[in-house]
Amino acid sequence: MTDFRPGDASLVRKVNTQVTLRALRREGVATLTRLGRITGLSRQTVEAVLDELKERGWIREAPPDEGAMGRPARRFGFRADAGYVVGLEVGGDRIVVSLADLSGAVIAWERSAVESDAPAAERLEAARRTALACVDGAGVARTRVWTLAAGTSGIVDRSGRVSLSITLPGWTGLDLAGVAARWFGCTALAANDANLGALAEHWRGSAQHASDVVYILVGHRPGAGILIGGRLHLGRSGAAGEIGTLRQVGWENAATELVEEGSAAEVFAAAGAGDEAALRRVDHYAENLAIGASALVLAVDPDLLVIGGGYALAGDVLLDPLRRHLADLCLSAPQVVTSTFGDESVSLGAVRLALDHVERDVLGL
Amino acid sequence: MTDFRPGDASLVRKVNTQVTLRALRREGVATLTRLGRITGLSRQTVEAVLDELKERGWIREAPPDEGAMGRPARRFGFRADAGYVVGLEVGGDRIVVSLADLSGAVIAWERSAVESDAPAAERLEAARRTALACVDGAGVARTRVWTLAAGTSGIVDRSGRVSLSITLPGWTGLDLAGVAARWFGCTALAANDANLGALAEHWRGSAQHASDVVYILVGHRPGAGILIGGRLHLGRSGAAGEIGTLRQVGWENAATELVEEGSAAEVFAAAGAGDEAALRRVDHYAENLAIGASALVLAVDPDLLVIGGGYALAGDVLLDPLRRHLADLCLSAPQVVTSTFGDESVSLGAVRLALDHVERDVLGL
DNA sequence: AGAGTTACGAAAAGAGGTCTCGTAAGTGAC
DNA sequence: GTCACTTACGAGACCTCTTTTCGTAACTCT
């Protein structure tokens, strides 16, 4: 439950360091006095904390603000460029990479296509190349990447190994985190793509103010990620949210039925234009989706249901029937919204995961 | 995420008070030196903390141990009898009450029967009488009850109001916590029965070492409770785990099919003796159960699945087919065990909930 | 009664944090 | 350019909480 270890004075310093650093990261650049006011600490304490942080290289002193009244205050800024993290999506037909600094600002994107039946080695090599290209292209030395996180479809266990992948050839059993760790010689993490999507939405998307979130990545084969109390819930084997496994749910073939004629985008467009047959197809797909979604919703009773992934671009054409079926299946369905991100959501979630790791393990606490 | 407030020296004292109190509750009675050793604090600090706690009435000084070597040490004990909590199950056909002291030791049980079609007022009155009888019978003054928690079937929202009950007449809309608060003039909490069962198992039952737990209360109408990270997960409206709502799951009528001929106990007994027809019935019931259970398991991916409630007494007669169907439906089914409690599990969980409240709100932190 | 054992209690020291106050370093008005 | 005003810095006193040390007290055992 709570903490078990007793505390001494250094605990207080630890807490206050955290609080100060958190405030500084929000502020960007701030004076001692201002930091004192927003943290509730005395200026003296803030000063001591910042001295320590400067020593450790986390922050830097910025030039004083000119033109202000009174004696110029010393200003400090979080050294967002002290290190970088890479967020990576290794998808069925594409690789998406984002490079972010420690403040979470994404400073470079890179993407490339990959054949959906490419063997594992080829897919990995494409991912590696794209990631390196992204970092090199941004002019960031490879050694300055502190952590990499990768999202991929399939079940990824807590150690970052793909324990089961249905869609990607040769993917099952792959130690994705282990392999990716060698690319930059840094710690690497791996997780399921839907989980990372959920994380991204909670970080900067439509789920920012929700605590418990179910995120469904709709596309060829829907997947789901769950946030409990704002934190990723992975489960014992990392398989939390894998409701699609249940035959009763019918997620396996939901998409193939949808795209029997034409691409998904075409079907959605036709449905949006009022085409009866397309509407029926979409409705049927939404119903299938709703069955799985309702199982997750009933299990978790989330504050919010977020729909992400390629098909989410269809917007209300898909969401309206989904909401209808969901209301039918659940006692009280939560609010349903679409992702605010396009296809960056997984790599953005990966960035967040990497940053979480940095903040926890490198920054301490 | 983590704490937002900065800390000063008093934070350290708070932490150490918690640690000490926790240790003392585990030990029962302990000397200063011993407490120092197990908490990792100096004897002086422990002494200061204990002085404060004695002042506040949480602990008492016990007579020194005789016959030991050296100067007799002062001994302190947690005042488990400083207050009491009442755990209550308001079931379909019975009321179960347990009275526990602050150490969690149950010092009195009381139960009574109630008609399954009794109107709400009658059921409530029976619950009140039984609770009062339990406390009075134990010789505990009613004013010494600090918190009461009640478990009942149906969906109970976070404020302790029954937002939906299918089985109990007149129960929907009842402010159970509000009503029960008047019985002893203390804070009262209310929750779903399966949630409390889960809590009980994690506290003292088969789920003690599990972090994420799905608990299914099997009986007339199965219900489920979920523990995430050892804590109750209620969800937005308190409906987390209500997978039985989903028609595809078939929990609604699972039991009625089981008991078409004879009582449930008879069917289980016959199945245990090898009766083909009974085996088929049980297998069918187990299959229905497994569908809902697998939805929960896939959603949450728990460390452990615990089966409690009346039918759990059947043991492996029910569990074996359940495990089989579960293995069939889930990628990797978790361990499945039965509850270690009989029909005390809900009231025991209620005790735990009440104690949690006391520890958080009364003891501080 | 003396030796051995164990715990108590006061005193000193150190780490952190807050408050106060005199001083430094700017801007703006005259 | 000087003076008043504003704002921030820095040193010192003081408080809280913890730990360490050491002399003393209160037992048991021989």
pLDDT tens for each residue of A189-219: 999 999 999 999 999 999 999 999 999 999 8
CATH of the domain spanning B208-339, picked from 3.30.420.40, 1.20.1250.20, 3.40.50.2300, 3.20.20.120:
3.30.420.40
| Burial of residue A20, with CB atoms counted within 10 A of its CB: 0-12 exposed, 13-18 middle, 19 or more buried | buried
Is the model's pLDDT at A3 over the cut of 60?
A: no
Q: According to the model, what pLDDT value does residue B221 have?
A: 83
Model confidence at A1, pLDDT cuts 50, 70, 90, reads very low
User: What is the CA A160 to chain-centroid distance, rounded?
Assistant: 15
A217: left (phi over 0), alpha (psi -120 to 50) or beta: beta
Higher pLDDT, B365 or A295: A295
User: How does pLDDT run across B235-275, given as a tens digit for each residue?
Assistant: 999 999 999 888 878 787 777 777 777 788 889 999 989 89
User: How does pLDDT run across A276-287, given as a tens digit for each residue?
Assistant: 999 999 999 999
Min distance B299 CA to chain A CA atoms (Å):
4
Q: Which of residues 115-144 of B touch A (CB under 8 A)?
A: none
Q: What is the mean pLDDT of residues B172-177?
A: 97
Residues 6+ apart with CB under 8 A from B293: B214, B216, B224, B305, B322, B326
Highest mean pLDDT among A225-234, A271-280, B20-29: A225-234
B45 CB closer than 7 A to any strand C atom: no
- Number of A–B residue contacts, CB under 8 Å: 170
- Which single residue is written with the structure tokens 């903040």? A359
Q: What is the mean pLDDT of residues B44-60?
A: 90
Q: What is the mean pLDDT of residues A149-172?
A: 95
Q: Which DSSP symbol is given to A308?
A: E
B8 CB closer than 7 A to any strand C atom: yes
The beta strands (E) that lie in chain A are given as 29-31, 59-62, 75-78, 84-90, 94-101, 106-113, 145-152, 155-156, 162-164, 187-192, 213-217, 223-228, 231-232, 304-308, 335-338
Beta bridge partners of A215: A225, A306
Is the model's pLDDT at B95 over the cut of 50?
A: yes
Is the model's pLDDT at A66 over the cut of 80?
A: no
Min distance A39 CA to chain B CA atoms (Å):
7
How far apart are alpha carbons A41 and A343 in whole angstroms? 42
Outline which parts of chain A fall under CATH 1.10.10.10. 6-78
| Burial of residue B243, with CB atoms counted within 10 A of its CB: 0-12 exposed, 13-18 middle, 19 or more buried | buried
Which residue in the set B8, B12, B298 is minimally distant from A243, CB to CB?
Answer: B298
How far apart are alpha carbons B232 and B211 in whole angstroms? 11
Model confidence at B1, pLDDT cuts 50, 70, 90, reads very low
Is the model's pLDDT at A257 over the cut of 80?
A: no
Is the model's pLDDT at A76 over the cut of 60?
A: yes
Residue B33, CB-side half-sphere exposure with 13 Å CA sphere: 4
Contacts of B12 in chain A (CB under 8 A): 7-9, 11-12
Model confidence at A357, pLDDT cuts 50, 70, 90, reads very high
Contacts of B9 in chain A (CB under 8 A): 9, 12
Nucleotides of strand C under 7 angstroms from a protein beta carbon? 4-11, 14-20, 24-28
Q: According to the model, what pLDDT value does residue A362 have?
A: 73
Q: What is the mean pLDDT of residues B180-209?
A: 97
Which is it for strands A223-228 and A213-217: parallel, antiparallel or unpaired?
antiparallel
B311: left (phi over 0), alpha (psi -120 to 50) or beta: alpha
Cα R_g (chain A), whole angstroms:
23
Alpha helices (H) along chain B: 9-27, 32-39, 43-56, 120-137, 176-184, 193-204, 254-258, 264-272, 276-300, 316-329, 345-357
Cα separations (Å) of B151 from B42, B138, B251, B349? 42, 22, 20, 8
Structure tokens at A271: 């449905």
B245 and chain A in contact, CB less than 8 A: yes
Q: Which helix (H) or strand (E) holds B189?
A: strand B187-192
Contacts of A157 in chain B (CB under 8 A): none
User: How does pLDDT run across B308-343, given as a tens digit for each residue?
Assistant: 988 898 889 999 999 999 999 997 899 999 999 988
Q: According to the model, what pLDDT value does residue B226 have?
A: 98
Is the model's pLDDT at A364 over the cut of 70?
A: no
Q: A247–B334: do the CB atoms touch at under 8 Å?
A: no
A20 CB closer than 7 A to any strand C atom: no
What integer best gives the mean pLDDT of chain B? Answer: 91
| A55 CA from C11 C1′ (Å) | 36
Model confidence at A365, pLDDT cuts 50, 70, 90, reads low
A5 and chain B in contact, CB less than 8 A: yes
Q: According to the model, what pLDDT value does residue B194 have?
A: 96
Is the model's pLDDT at A68 over the cut of 80?
A: no
What integer best gives the mean pLDDT of chain A? Answer: 91
Model confidence at B10, pLDDT cuts 50, 70, 90, reads confident
Model confidence at A363, pLDDT cuts 50, 70, 90, reads low
Beta bridge partners of A337: A306
Is the model's pLDDT at B365 over the cut of 70?
A: no
Q: What is the mean pLDDT of residues A298-314?
A: 93
Which is it for strands A106-113 and A94-101: parallel, antiparallel or unpaired?
antiparallel
Residues 6+ apart with CB under 8 A from B192: B151, B152, B153, B154, B155, B156, B223, B225, B238, B241
B29 CB closer than 7 A to any strand D atom: no
Q: What is the mean pLDDT of residues A225-240?
A: 96
How far apart are alpha carbons B353 and B151 in whole angstroms? 10
CATH number of A6-78: 1.10.10.10
Structure tokens at B80: 């488990």
**Which nucleotide is closest to the Cα of A70 by its C1'?**
D7
Q: A246–B1: do the CB atoms touch at under 8 Å?
A: no
How much of chain A exceeds pLDDT 70, in percent? Answer: 98
Which is it for strands B75-78 and B84-90: parallel, antiparallel or unpaired?
unpaired
Outline which parts of chain A fall under CATH 3.30.420.40. 83-196+345-362, 208-339
User: How does pLDDT run across A88-133, given as a tens digit for each residue?
Assistant: 999 999 999 999 999 899 999 999 999 999 999 999 999 999 999 9
**Which nucleotide is closest to the Cα of A6 by its C1'?**
D18
Q: What is the mean pLDDT of residues B10-35?
A: 89
Model confidence at A256, pLDDT cuts 50, 70, 90, reads confident
CATH class, A83-196+345-362 region: alpha beta
Which is it for strands B162-164 and A106-113: parallel, antiparallel or unpaired?
unpaired
Q: According to the model, what pLDDT value does residue B3 have?
A: 55
Q: According to the model, what pLDDT value does residue A169 have?
A: 94
Q: Which helix (H) or strand (E) holds B164?
A: strand B162-164
**Which nucleotide is closest to the Cα of B43 by its C1'?**
D19
How far apart are alpha carbons A269 and A313 in whole angstroms? 10
Q: According to the model, what pLDDT value does residue B25 have?
A: 87
- Window B197-236, strand D contacts by Cβ < 7 Å: none
Q: A301–B238: do the CB atoms touch at under 8 Å?
A: yes
How far apart are alpha carbons A180 and A175 in whole angstroms? 9
Taking CA–CA distances from A292, the nearest residue in chain B reads: B295
Cα separations (Å) of A133 from A102, A184, B253? 20, 12, 59
B228 near B300, Cβ under 8 Å?
A: yes
